[in-house]
Amino acid sequence: MADVPADAVLAPRRRTTDPRLRPRRRLGGRDPVGALAAGRRARRRDRARGAPPALPARPAGDARRRRARGRPTGRPAGRGTAGRARRRLGRRDDRTARRAQELVRSGRPVPERIVLLSPALDLAFTDPGIAEIAPRDPLLRADHIRELAALWAGDRSTDDPFVSPLRGPLDGLGELHVFAGTRDILHPDAATFAGRGASADGTTIALHVGDGMVHDWMLLPTPEGRTTRREIARRLA
């Protein structure tokens, strides 16, 4: 198969009313509605108290506009009857982590437990391990995600902590669980994030490694995906 340009989007040539032929959301080729539905089913089955943010596969606007509007980067965590912040399932990774950092800076309570799924935590993507994993990653291309990251950063540098949570303060974030596969080019930054968390005050970051797993494997209809979803539900219970 010939190389596909980084900015290419697969879509039907003609307009169609057939839902099977409509193009997916662009980033990663995932169906975000199906992913969220899978998470909700897992929570109902295991009676977990989670609050998955309803976020699109590709962010609308950019970091500057979103901050200027004052919109939260994920649905705010609710509160249980005991007055504790609810646990959060972070489908869209970097924004969920950044939202937690914003809560700490503003002195508001953070969720007692946060789960990040295949997160993009440093949008500069400079870790040397990325180049080592790239030939084995069947889903993500480094040049493609760097271009998307630059669009999201807008007039900010991708080194800016507001854009890249890995480059911001990690103190006071509470308990985080990060799931990352070894065939995902985002894995090296997830490992660095967990390592930095070990020296942060008021923060515990547990890295859950999917050996041989690809980006967002926990959302796939596979035995490994189902097993991981059950584990996530237990973490949120």
User: Domain coordinates of the chain in residue numbers?
Assistant: 87-237
68: its two tokens: 């200027």
Alpha carbon 124 to chain centroid, angstroms: 15
> Rounded to an integer, what distance in angstroms lies between the CA atom of residue 90 and that of residue 107?
21
Beta bridge mates, 85: 79
pLDDT for the residue 212: 97
Give 76's DSSP letter: P
Mean pLDDT, the chain, integer: 73
Q: What is the pTM of this model?
A: 0.67
State the alpha helices, DSSP H only, in the chain: 32-46, 63-69, 93-106, 129-133, 142-153, 187-197, 223-236
CA distance 168 to 29: 29
Q: 77 near 85, Cβ under 8 Å?
A: yes
Residue 120 has pLDDT above 70, yes or no: yes
Per-residue model confidence as pLDDT tens digits over 67-119:
444 444 334 444 443 334 455 555 445 677 878 888 888 888 888 888 999 99
Res 84: pLDDT: 43
The 10 Å Cβ neighbour count of residue 228 is 22
Higher-scoring residue by pLDDT: 99, 143: 143
Q: How far apart are CA 86 and CA 53, in angstroms?
A: 12
Summarize the confidence of residues 150-168 as an average pLDDT.
90
pLDDT tens figures, 20-79: 444 333 333 444 444 445 555 555 554 444 544 444 444 545 555 554 444 443 344 444
Q: Which fold has domain 87-237?
A: Rossmann fold (3.40.50)
Residue with structure tokens 């504790």? 84
Q: What are phi and psi of 145, to 5 degrees?
A: -70, -30
Alpha carbon distance 178, 209 (integer Å): 8
pLDDT above 50 for 131: yes
Q: Tokens at residue 176, please?
A: 């985080």
The pLDDT, as a whole number, for residue 64 is 56
pLDDT at 102: 85
Predicted confidence at residue 63, as pLDDT, reads 57
Q: Give the model's pLDDT for residue 88.
A: 54
Give one DSSP letter per residue of 117-160, joined into a string. ES----TT---THHHHHGGG-SS--HHHHHHHHHHHHTTS-TTS
> How high is the pLDDT of residue 232?
92
Dump pLDDT digits (tens) for 180-235.
999 999 999 999 999 999 999 999 999 999 999 999 999 999 999 999 999 999 88
User: What is the reported pLDDT for 17?
Assistant: 52
For position 62, what pLDDT does the model report? Answer: 55
User: Residue 3 burial by CB count (10 A; 0-12/13-18/19+): exposed, middle or buried?
Assistant: exposed
Q: What three-state secondary structure class fits 24? A: coil
For the packed helices 223-236 and 32-46, what is the interaxial angle rounded to 10 degrees? 60
Nearest 10 degrees: CA dihedral of 150, 156, 162, 163?
Answer: 0
